[in-house]
Amino acid sequence: MPVTDEPQKSTLPEGATEESRADEHRADDTRADDTCRFDRARTARSSEILEDYTELIGDLIAEHGEARVTDIARRLGVTHPTATKALARLKREGLVTSRPYRGVFLTEAGAAMAERVRVRHRLVVDLLLAIGVPEQAAETDAEGMEHYVSETTLEAFRRFLDARKA
């Protein structure tokens, strides 16, 4: 680009200032942050079903040695076809296997997911109890919250609870 003594022409639209352009960029950043935030919430909702099913299947296996579709549907309050459809998704995701007349079993990946969810659930419950939420409400509320809490937030919960113990 040749160097001249002529003043540079502004590339801003007429009437715009550097400040208004900065405001525009901040607004774009806010929209991008909102998009990421809403995208994270949609992703959490999508995985919430997988997590609830794997956690319940793990609990049923621990209690009864297997998880039957009928028991899964009853415990989650859904119809048998709804549970069957969700289990088909879990199979596609490699989280469960099933055997005719034997029920549903977690794969290694499914068992790992169930354990992660169980630990996250316990951590959220413990935090709610620590701030004075009654036990029944803490259990119920944690069931919804546990799917939406980031690892960063979980770590903050952990530090808070550890500091209370010390």
Check residue 144 and give its pLDDT.
84
Distances (CA, A) of 128 to 21, 70, 122, 133: 44, 32, 10, 5
Query: What CATH number is attached to the domain comprising 139?
Result: 1.10.10.10
Provide the sign of the torsion angle of the four alpha carbons 61, 113, 36, 151, taken in this order: positive
Residue 52 pLDDT: 92
Among residues 67, 94, 70, 102, the alpha carbon closest in space to that of 84 is found at 70
Domain that holds residue 54: 33-165
pLDDT score recorded for residue 93: 95
List the pLDDT tens digit at each of the 166 positions of the chain. 555 555 555 555 555 566 655 556 555 555 555 566 555 555 555 688 899 999 999 999 999 999 999 999 999 999 999 999 999 999 999 999 998 888 999 999 999 999 999 999 999 999 999 999 999 999 999 988 988 888 999 999 999 999 998 7
Q: Can you tell me the distance from the alpha carbon of 164 to that of 161, in angstroms, rounded to the nearest whole number? A: 5
Q: Please report whether residue 21 resides in a domain.
A: no
The pTM score is 0.69
3-state secondary structure of 143: helix
Say if 155 falls within a structural domain: yes
Counted domains in the chain: 1
Neighbours of 73 (CB within 10 A): 18
d(CA 114, CA 54): 5
The 3-state DSSP class for residue 102 equals coil
Flag whether 143 is in a domain.
yes
Determine, yes or no, domain membership for 28. no
Specify if 18 maps to a domain. Answer: no
